[in-house]
Structure 1
Amino acid sequence: MNIALLDDEKHCLESLALDLKQVVPDAEIVFKSTKPEKALERLPELEVDLLFLDVQMPKLNGFELLEQLAPHVPDVVFTTAYSRYAIQAFKYHAFNYLLKPIDENELATVITHWRQKREKDQQNQLQSLEGLLEKMKRDGLFQSKIAIPVSDGYEFIEVKEILFCRSENNYTTFFLENGDQILISKTLKEVECILNKHHFIRIHQSYLVNPHHMAKFQRSDGGYVIMKNGEKIKVSPQKKDLVTGLFETVRKS
C-alpha cells in the first residue's frame, strides 16, 4: 500500500506520518511534502494508492491540485478543518475525510473503509471528483487556480484573472487582468488542454481566450473580438459561428 501526504503545515504532516506507521505498519509513504508544486511534479510519476490531501493551502488548495492532476488521480482522503457544510459535500460524493486534529481511531476507520471499497470502478471515482469540484465552485468555497511553470519554479494564478493566451512558436504568453504577462515554454495546444475545463475557447490558431473577458465582436475586417483590456484578436473563419453564438447566448440570457 503506497501512501502520499500533502499538507502545508509541517507539524500536521509529520504527525499524520507517525500515526500512519502505527495504524498501517505495512504501508509505505512514497511521497510527503508541504509544497503543492512538488506534488504536481512527482505524483504523476509515482504509483500511489491513497493520497492524504490538505484542503486549505495558501498557493494551491487541495481542490485546485486535483483539478490539475485529473484524470490521473489516486484515491483521496481529505484532511480538513472546513465547515460542516463542506463536509456534507464530501459525504454526498462518497469521499473519505478526516477532521483536524486527526484522531488515530478515526484514521484507522478511514483506512478500513478505503480497503473495503478499493475495488470500486476508477471511473466512478473520477466522476465523483468532478462532481465535488463543481459543487465547491458553485458554492464559492474555492476559486480555481492553475500552476504554470516559470524559470524558477511555478507561478500560481487564478483562472478568472487570465484574459487570453497567445502562442509564439513553442511558447505561450499569458495576459492577465492586472496587465502582467507571463511567458512559459508550453505550446498553446498544451495550455488549451489545461484550460479547456475552465471553458476557454480557441478563436484563432494563435489565441486562446477567456470568454468572460470578451467585450465585443466586430464583423468588419474579417471578424475580431475586442477584449475588456482593449486588445483586438482576430477570429478565424472556422470559429466565427462559435463566437457569434456565444455573444448571442449572453445577449438573450
Structure 2
Amino acid sequence: MMQKTIIIDCVGDSMSKLVKAINKTLPNANIVGISTNCSFGLTLIQKHKASILFIRSKKSDYIELSRKVKEKGFNPYFIFVTETEFEINNLDDKSLTVCLQHLENSIIKISHHLTVEEPSPYTNRIGIPSNNGTTYLSTDNIIFFRSDNNYTIIHLENGKTILVSKTLKKFEVKLSNKHFIRTHQSYIVNLNKVIQVCNNDGGYLTMNNNEKIPISRSKKNIVKNQLNLLFEKI
C-alpha cells in the first residue's frame, strides 16, 4: 500500500536530498507535497491525509506542529530530520528521527516502523467476552459505549445493551483505528451514528437513537475535527 508522504524543510537546504533518499529507500512512499514552512505543511497534511511526515525545523516548531496535527485528528508518522546522529532520540513508534549526515542508512533503520495495516473484511467486528464464550459484534451495529465503574455498557442499534466486564479504556485502545472517539470520561461514540453536534448545556452529541452524549471541554475540538474529516459540510 502506498503511503502519502509530506516533506517540510524549514531550513531550506536539504529538500532535494530528502526527496532522493526517500525515493531510494522507501518504495511505498508517495511524496504528495513539499513545504518550506510548518503552516503550509499543516495545510498539506489536512489536504492529503498523509501518513508520513518528514520535517526539518527547530525542535520547538516540530513540537508545535505535532500538537496541531493531533488536535485536528490526524496521526501520521513524524520523522524529525536532525543534523547529527547524536541528536537521535526515537520517542515512540510514531515519533522517529533520522540523521541528515547518514540519511539513507537512517531511513532504512526506521523503515520497519512505517507500516500501514491492510484493510480486512473482518476489521469491522470485535469480540465481546462473556461467561458463555465470545460474541462477535459488527461495529456498525454499535452506537456508543458508556462506562459503569469497571464495566462498560454497549448500546446497540436494535435498542439492546450489553454489559461487559471491561473498562472503557480497553475499548478505546481496540477501536482507535475505527470511527470511534472518546468524547468524555464516560463515553465512546460511533461517529457514523452522530446526527447533530449541539453547543447547549456545555456541548453534546445527539445520536441516531436520540441519546445525548456529553462532550468534555478538552475533547470539543478533536471531536469536531474528526466529524469534519468524515463528513462534508455545506
TM-score normalised by L of structure 2 = 0.48
Structure with the higher helix share, 1 or 2? 1
TM-score normalised by L of structure 1 = 0.45
Structure with the higher strand share, 1 or 2? 2
* Greater length-normalized contact order (CA 8 Å, ≥ 6 residues apart): 2
